[in-house]
Amino acid sequence: MRLTRVLALVSLTAGFHETKARTLVSSPGQIAAIPSWDLQSSAGIGPDLNIVSRPGFGTGSWHHVKISKCTLMGCLVEAGVYNETDLFYSDNLRKVDAQQFSVPWIYRSEFSLEPGPGKHFFLYTHGISSRADIFLNGHQVASASEQAGSFAGKTYDVTKLVSRQNALAIRAYPTDYYRDLALGWVDWNPWPADNGTGVWRDVEIKQTGAVQLEQLRVVTRLGPRLGNEPAKVTLKARAHNLEDFTIRVTAIGVVSGPNHRPVVRTHTFTLPPRSVTDILLDTVVEKPAIWWPRQWGGQPLYSAKLTVMTADGGLSDFTEAEFGFRTVTSTLNAHNDTTFHINGHPFQVIGAGYAPDIFLRWSLPKWETTLRYILDLGFNTVRLEGKNEHPSLYRLANRLGVMIMPGWECCDKWEAWPYNTDLPFPTVPVWSDADYAIAHASMLHETAMLQSHPSVLTYLIGSDYWPDEHATSLYLSAFHSLDWQLPITDSASKRGFSPQTGPSGMKMDGPYDWVPPNYWFDTVPASSRYGAAFGFGSELSAGVGTPELSSLRKFLPPVDLADLWRAPNKSLFHMSREGSKFETREIYNAALWNRWGAPSSLEDYVMKAQLMDYEATRAQVDGYVAMWSEKSRPATGMVYWMGNNAWPGLHWQLWDWYGRGMGAYYGAKMGREAVVWDSVRKAVWIVNRSLIEMGRRRVEVDIVGLDGRIVYEGKVEVRTEGNRSQRVVELGEVFQNVTTMVFLRLVLRDEKGIVLSRRVYWVAKEVDVLDWERSEWYYTPVSNYVDYTALNRLSPANVSVLAVNRGKSEVSVTLENQSEVPAFFISLNLLDAEGSDILPVTWEDNYVTLWPKEKLTLTARAVGFGKWDAVSVQVIGKNVAQVIVKVARKR
């Protein structure tokens, strides 16, 4: 008896100590996330959350995390139960016990508040997977039927429940992707054992006075003379009188921007007891600074704040939002292909699909790397399929000028429509009334979160299938009620559409697996050309993205490394999910073996894979940008599938889990202006993706044989025009005389002779022959492969390497080909003192091919926060032996 009491006292004190000092919020308008959690499986705790949620309940034996949000797996990695390096190695992820997640888990935290007369407190959720009971201080706040859905953010008035010392307990229920409106992974990667269950977004506490405000909405109206006439800005927020008496309220709206004094508007009105009203404050910004996507201009950002004061002069609440002046519209052309317009200009989307962390762990630096890589690639957009994540994602995109396409995901409960022929009914139940309610709440929450961000391009309310009429009307009413000003896209495909939205104008016709480079340029009729470069492709690629050796060795055991080249048809755990079409590299490897010859070692396989990947991504980007101005059926947009993976994956990525950009990345990299080879028309295109730039350009065309002998040299003078692609050189006749494999070098120079784009292609006499009629949803087979094996027999080239450190964050490497033969496909990689890759980093260019005697200087730059102690650079090419060269200090 005595002993028990002592123990209870000890655990009480322990709980108290940890949280005593932390007053979460203490003034009206202040909002803060619960900063840390204790968590434990409900097995063994018992069902009584009334007790668990009392201050002082002992959690000494629980897991502890000092972060504000994490799924169960994310929390357990954070708490040290699992080690990421180990989990991601080989097939260890498979060994995590999923059974432990078949029961609810409890998250618990203690915090202090300073309650008192006239003070009100709210608990905000932003979605908990899959659903949750919420208890505060021994009382139930919400049941799992109320707090249901990963995106359904809810607000709970907890004024009557709070005290100085508070304990919050959340019981999160298991997530089933087929039954719950959650965040699933489709075939992207293995599913985490917990299916992402838990407090994956912040849970917040807010303090207010007698009047509470919901999220601020900002409605902007720009005149047609963009930036040259005043813009109307309306601040809107729903206000609640929380008291049983009438309140006289003064609302104060402030709009601040980069180049003017804050604009202030006030409005005084009375709010009847317990009533709700929308506050509207109209303001005018005389000379609005216009927000542009990065390639087209600056990113001036404005802030808006709406404050409510009560008659006693006291601050009651405020709400803030960041916004920018820009317009987004979309149009359908005669083919029902969508073109987006930003600030009135047709905007060709060149984007990539984004995968968050497999355990949904949020890292702002990692997201910054994503955006910096997107910009470095010359891309302008990121698509999030059902992974909308957090407000800071959009804030950083606002700052960096990258467009974001958020939306709902495919292939699970989100698309459980009777007409969806891809889902395993009835394993996936069709929607119940409760599901419609969750979806509606989810849409309201996401709309409020996204409404003001200038980086948002559109919202996709469906991916592979369009939502049914009832869901569509619920979604549209949510957008409408919260002043959505952007295009709404009904799905990412052309399988059908609701009359309420009209056609999406996006196609989803593959490919997802390997197709040859000429696929994108092919000229067979559009009806049988699937993903080729026309229209708006919402997710498509040749599926490539093989990591380099340094990365492969981090997650593949020796047996898998050997099988990469010895067992080309093997299922690999780090490919797509087991059971999907993409768990082997069979289609890809068939092409590699046929085109490049059977690999003789792992190193040879990885080199050939980098060549395959580079060629595949370059042709896709080239094709889409070249066909932008094509008259009969322009390419209006493209989302490369995908930019990155949720864990160390073997394909569908431009840079790998560790941040290394491989052949796939540098193939896809495209400048603001570029010169492009069209292997089908045997023509050279120039593309200019800026808006205003135009002028005289010179295009130089050089062809050499594999022995370095000059085959052809030519140049043309052309005029470039902004935002346009044009076909400038025809080489059909030249190639009629070419009987062997050659290298083709294209260089684009401006009036001053400065190189704007320099690209080298390897060109065989024939191209791969596509068998369009046998196309599947995921690829188009090749009936006759091109023969590149002559490239395996290139004479070795000698390349001198001079690497110089140019300060804290830059290294320049000068390559010079000493030989009479081209130096083919040279990659550069910075290493630290231990010989590990230095990441994240961007290279001006990489995987380059040098002409005989050619000299090229390439600069590497650190991405922001990366550690930067480059000691050496590793250089290797197809016919250039590997060297590791010391980086010299700047003289």
Which candidate in 464, 468, 513, 522 is catalytic? 464
Distance CA 801, CA 361 (A): 40
Nearer to ligand NAG, 214 or 768 (CB): 768
The region of 199-207, 280-288, 686-694, 776-784 touching ligand NAG under the rule CB under 6 A is 686-694
Q: Is 150 in the site for ligand NAG (CB under 6 A)?
A: no
Residues numbered 456-515 forming contacts with ligand NAG, rule: CB under 6 A: 502-503
Nearest-CA neighbor of 664 among 552, 548, 786, 780?
548
Residues 859 and 844: their CA atoms lie apart, in Å, by 6
Footprint of ligand NAG on 627-656 (CB under 6 A):
628-629
Q: Are 103 and 43 in contact (CB under 8 A)?
A: yes
Side-chain half-sphere of 519: how many Cα atoms within 13 Å? 31
Q: Fill in the per-residue mask, 793 to 812: x = in contact with ligand NAG (CB under 6 A), - = not in contact.
A: ---x-x--------------
Q: Which SS3 state, helix, strand or coil, does residue 475 take?
A: helix
User: In this complex, which beta carbon is closest to ligand NAG, that of residue 539 or of residue 673?
Assistant: 673
Contacts by 468-477 with C-beta closer than 8 Å and gap 24+? 468/417, 468/418, 468/431, 468/498, 469/498, 469/500, 470/436, 471/431, 471/436, 471/439, 472/498, 472/500, 472/501, 473/500, 474/436, 474/439, 474/440, 474/443, 475/439, 475/440, 475/443, 476/500, 476/501, 477/440
539 catalytic per annotation: yes
Piece of the chain touching ligand NAG by CB under 6 A; list 223-231, 683-691, 777-785, 807-815: 683-691
Q: Can you tell me which of 345, 554, 577, 681 binds ligand NAG, judged by CB under 6 A?
A: 345
The label of the residue with tokens 């990695």 reads 77
Return the residue of 266, 601, 818, 857 that touches ligand NAG, per CB under 6 A. Answer: 818
Q: Which is nearer to ligand NAG, 1 or 692 (CB)?
A: 692
Cβ 429 to ligand NAG, closest distance in Å? 11
Closest by Cα among 662, 355, 337, 685 to 532 = 337
User: Which tokens go with 362?
Assistant: 């949020």
Closest approach, Cβ 525 to ligand NAG, in A, equals 14
Per CB under 6 A, 335 contacts ligand NAG: yes
Out of 568, 599, 659, 877, the residue judged to bind ligand NAG by CB under 6 A: 568
Instruction: Give yes or no: 844 in active site.
Output: no
d(CA 89, CA 330): 44
Q: CB nearest ligand NAG: which residue?
A: 693
Angle between helices 558-566 and 602-626 (to 10 degrees): 70
**Measured CA distances, 785 to 517, 585, 598, 762, 800 (Å):** 11, 17, 14, 15, 35
The count of chain residues that interact with ligand NAG, using the rule CB under 6 A, is 49
Q: Which of 4, 737, 754, 807 binds ligand NAG (CB under 6 A)?
A: 737
Least distance to ligand NAG, CB of residue 336, Å: 4
Among 114, 308, 305, CA closest to 209: 308
Nearer to ligand NAG, 62 or 712 (CB): 712
Shortest reach from residue 728's CB to ligand NAG, in Å: 11
Which residue from 346, 391, 705, 866 is in contact with ligand NAG, where contact means CB under 6 A? 346
- 829 is a contact residue toward ligand NAG (CB under 6 A): no
**In angstroms, what CA-CA distances link 107 with 169, 170, 203, 598?**
6, 5, 11, 54
- DSSP per-residue string spanning 580-622: STTSB-HHHHHHHHHHH---SSHHHHHHHHHHHHHHHHHHHHH
Question: Pattern of binders to ligand NAG over 516-555, x per CB under 6 A?
Answer: ----------------------------------------
* CA torsion angle 70 72 77 83 (round to 10): -150
Q: How far is the CB of 192 from ligand NAG (least distance, A)?
A: 9
Quick one: which of 37, 124, 173, 177 contacts ligand NAG (CB under 6 A)?
Answer: 177
| Contact track, ligand NAG, 411-450, x by CB under 6 A | ----------------------------------------
If the CB atoms of residues 42 and 159 are measured against ligand NAG, the closer one turns out to be 42
Least spacing, CB of residue 783 vs ligand NAG, in Å: 14
Q: Which of 68, 112, 189, 195 binds ligand NAG (CB under 6 A)?
A: 195
Position among 114, 157, 586, 604 found at the interface with ligand NAG (CB under 6 A): 586
Q: Supply the angle between the helices 391-400 and 433-450 in degrees, to the nearest 10.
A: 40
Which residue is catalytic, options 38, 317, 376, 539? 539
- From the CB of residue 695, how many other CB atoms can be counted at a distance below 10 Å? 12
- Among 316, 720, 775, 780, interactor with ligand NAG by CB under 6 A: 720
Smallest distance, ligand NAG to C-beta of residue 631, A: 10
Burial of 138 (0-12, 13-18, 19+ CB in 10 A): middle
Return the residues of window 3-22 that contact ligand NAG according to CB under 6 A.
none
**Which residues, numbered 74-113, are part of the site for ligand NAG (CB under 6 A)?**
83, 85-86, 98, 101-102
Nearest to 509 by CA among 867, 779, 877: 779
Tracing tokens 């949750």 back to the chain, one arrives at 132
Structure tokens belonging to residue 456: 């948002």
Tell me how far apart the alpha carbons of residues 742 and 735 are, in angstroms, rounded to a whole number.
Answer: 10
- 834 near ligand NAG, rule: CB under 6 A: no
Within residues 752-771, the interface with ligand NAG by CB under 6 A covers 756
Residue by residue, DSSP assigns 741-784 as -EEEEEEEE-TT--EEEEEEEEE-SS-PEE-GGG--SS---EEE
We find the least distance from the C-beta atom of residue 736 to ligand NAG, in angstroms, to be 6
Minimum distance, C-beta of residue 764 to ligand NAG, in the bound complex (Å) = 18
Nearer Cβ to ligand NAG, position 114 or 721?
A: 721
Question: Is 734 near ligand NAG (CB under 6 A)?
Answer: yes
Which residue in 17, 248, 853, 886 binds ligand NAG (CB under 6 A)?
853
Cβ(418)–Cβ(405) under 8 Å? no
Report if residue 688 touches ligand NAG, rule: CB under 6 A.
yes
Which residues, 6+ apart, have CB-to-CB distance to 394 below 8 Å? 404, 449, 450, 453, 455, 456
DSSP calls for 326-338: --EEEEE-TT--E
Binding site for ligand NAG (CB under 6 A): 83, 85-86, 98, 101-102, 174-178, 195, 335-336, 345-346, 502-503, 568-569, 586, 628-629, 673, 688, 690-695, 697, 720-724, 733-734, 737, 750, 756, 796, 798, 816, 818-819, 853, 855
Active site residues: 464, 539
